[in-house]
Amino acid sequence: AQTVTQSQPEMSVQEAETVTLSCTYDTSENNYYLFWYKQPPSRQMILVIRQEAYKQQNATENRFSVNFQKAAKSFSLKISDSQLGDTAMYFCAFMKPPWLIGGNKLTFGTGTQLKVEL
Amino acid sequence: DGGITQSPKYLFRKEGQNVTLSCEQNLNHDAMYWYRQDPGQGLRLIYYSQIVNDFQKGDIAEGYSVSREKKESFPLTVTSAQKNPTAFYLCASSIDLLVAGDADTQYFGPGTRLTVL
């Protein structure tokens, strides 16, 4: 079974600064997908960024980027120019492809609560 | 507007009662999912359905039941057999096609907070 570990329960960052959230995972699969979701106080889960394991290039979405280290099974999220609206719980998630047994199901980490301060 | 709706936003239940949580999507997605979120934990999969009239158990299906009679709808019933049902419940959907691209990203509804009195 896959596991996802987020070892930082809470983090804080000053507005306009950069912060990195850590995520490690365990799997024996070679093909899979990784996601970062954001859950603000409204509790709506919002997709931040996704990465396909077969792509070597790290995914980026505006101020959000990942550092995907496949051999180390590490998938960290970097938030640049942090804004107050980035305050949220951030979840890392793993998924096997839909064509595999047990695929298309998300396995989540326990989350990192990020607070952006003035 | 396309999206996923869940109702009600808050739900209170007496012990011993069954309750049904609604999830509707107009995104024309094939697959739908139910997750449970408890404080200090990530989301855990309850049930999922990849096609109408078919569904599979997730990791914590005991005490829950679902149906998938229409593509747009995937209601979750929390039965009296669920011993600790107080939690936040999230519904999600995705295009379940065996193609690359955005096919496997799950999009979430706003959630239902269930409290057992």
Q: Which two tokens stand for residue B84?
A: 């600790």
Q: CA nearest B46 in A: which residue?
A: A105
Q: How does pLDDT run across B27-41, given as a tens digit for each residue?
A: 988 889 999 999 878
Tell whether A97 is within 8 A of chain B (Cβ): yes
| Tokens 């306009």 belong to residue | A16
What residue ranges of chain B have pLDDT lower than 50? 99-100
Chain B segment 1-30 residues within 8 A of A by beta carbon are none
A111: confidence class by pLDDT, cuts 50, 70, 90: very high
pLDDT of residue B105: 84
* Dist. CA B41–CA A15, nearest whole Å: 27
How far from B113 is each of A44, A53, A91, B38, CA to CA, in Å? 12, 34, 19, 10
Q: B50 contacts in A (CB within 8 Å)?
A: 98, 104
Number of separate helices (H) and strands (E) present in chain B:
0, 11
- Name which residue leads in pLDDT, B104 or A46: A46
Q: A93 contacts in B (CB within 8 Å)?
A: 42
Cβ contacts of B39 within 8 Å, gap of 6 or more = none
Q: B96 contacts in A (CB within 8 Å)?
A: 98, 104
Residues in chain B: 117
pLDDT of residue B100: 44
